């Protein structure tokens, strides 16, 4: 490999690393959201389903997000905030449905396909499309605007591959922890058996916690997307309110500021999501199956 090509590769990797750093929070959200889609599957189907979701994520990034982002950035950048608002509202809707289920409301369309593998994969890939869009757009916005087209494309390709590997590698490890625990229970060493038993017994609680984290993550990311991009299209007061909270909490430190930002975004996401759920229920009840 020539020195010139090595320099180009190094530039691409460096740009990708810097650009993707600010999207780390969304990567964590993606990793927290995805395991709930494979909860309840038989152990033999967990990794194949994760692989299908990962493949769908790559298709999302390479067939939809990267080409669309580059085209819109070049020819119609004003469209991007509207797309992000739609994506944010969808995440809020998904999160709010989970919250209403916690309080006993069963959504008919989810009950019908709750154990259908194709439906689970399709739902996970749809959610991934929104989260991956935010990851890639945040990364794109942090690339040097002076970069040429091919350098920019190369950096986005690297980001897409690395982020997908990180997210779904972590998800695969997480969903197979219980199998690791079962194997450890069969060990000849007592300490290993005890650790294995602890892993197996803790996994139901771990998945409950993951489900809660995933739901909060959807509300947080969705609310944040909606708030910031409503400001981009001219409706400034939600973003102004968020910035006011951030400035008020800044003297208390970065952690408290982040927590306040997250809380405001999550509450906003819940309110937006509940409104979207209400609209969907009205539409369902006014449709042919809902009329009396």
> Residue 23 belongs to what H/E stretch?
none
Q: What is the pLDDT of residues 2-24, one digit of tens each?
A: 555 556 566 666 666 665 555 55
Q: CA distances (Å), 181 to each of 32, 195, 196, in order?
A: 21, 7, 4
Q: Is 94 exposed, middle or buried (0-12, 13-18, 19+ CB in 10 A)?
A: buried
CA angle 36, 39, 40 (to 5 degrees): 150
Q: Which two tokens stand for residue 19?
A: 């650009």
Element (H, E) at 63: none
In the predicted structure, residue 234 carries a pLDDT above the cut 50: yes
pLDDT at 50 over 70: yes
3-state secondary structure 98-163: HHHHHCCCCCHHHHHCCCCHHHHHHHHHHHHHHHHHHHHHHHHHCCCCCCCHHHHHHHHHHHHHHH
Q: What are the φ/ψ torsions at residue 104 (nearest 5 degrees)? A: 100, 0
Q: Which helix (H) or strand (E) holds 61?
A: none
In this structure, of 183-187, 205-209, 248-252, 274-278, the range with the lowest mean pLDDT score is 205-209
Residue 236 pLDDT exceeds 50: yes
| 84 — pLDDT class (breaks 50, 70, 90) | confident
How much is the average pLDDT of 272-287?
A: 86
- Number of neighbouring beta carbons within 10 Å of residue 106: 9
16/152 Cα distance (integer angstroms)? 9
Mean pLDDT estimate for the chain: 80
At 194-227, the pLDDT tens digits run 898 888 888 778 777 877 887 888 788 888 888 9
Contact criterion met (CB below 8 Å) for 132 and 61: yes
The DSSP code for 60 is I
């Amino acid at each position: 490999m020539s020195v010139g090509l090595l320099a180009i590769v190094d530039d691409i990797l460096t740009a990708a690393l810097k650009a993707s750093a600010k999207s780390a929070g969304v990567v964590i959200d993606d990793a927290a959201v995805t395991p709930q889609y494979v909860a309840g599957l038989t152990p033999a189907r967990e990794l194949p389903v994760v692989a299908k979701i990962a493949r769908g994520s790559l298709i999302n990034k390479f067939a939809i997000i990267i080409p669309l982002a580059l085209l819109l950035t070049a020819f119609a950048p004003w469209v991007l905030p509207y797309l992000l608002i739609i994506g944010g509202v969808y995440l809020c809707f998904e999160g709010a449905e989970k919250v209403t289920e916690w309080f006993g409301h069963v959504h008919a369309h989810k009950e019908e396909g709750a154990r259908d593998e194709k439906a689970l994969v399709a739902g996970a890939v749809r959610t991934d499309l929104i989260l991956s869009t935010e990851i890639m757009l945040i990364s794109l916005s942090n690339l040097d605007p002076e970069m040429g087209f091919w350098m920019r494309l190369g950096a986005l390709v690297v980001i897409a591959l690395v982020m997908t590997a990180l997210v779904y590698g972590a998800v695969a490890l997480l969903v197979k922890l219980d199998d690791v625990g079962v194997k450890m229970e069969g060990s000849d060493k007592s300490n290993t058996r005890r650790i294995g038993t602890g892993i197996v017994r803790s996994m139901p609680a771990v998945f409950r916690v993951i489900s809660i984290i995933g739901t909060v993550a959807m509300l947080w990311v969705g609310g944040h997307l909606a708030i910031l991009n409503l400001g981009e299209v001219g409706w400034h007061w939600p973003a102004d309110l968020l910035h006011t909270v951030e400035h008020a909490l800044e003297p208390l430190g970065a952690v408290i500021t982040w927590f306040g930002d997250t809380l405001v975004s999550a509450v906003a996401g819940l309110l937006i999501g509940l409104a979207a759920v209400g609209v969907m229920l009205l539409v369902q009840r006014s449709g042919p199956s809902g009329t009396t």
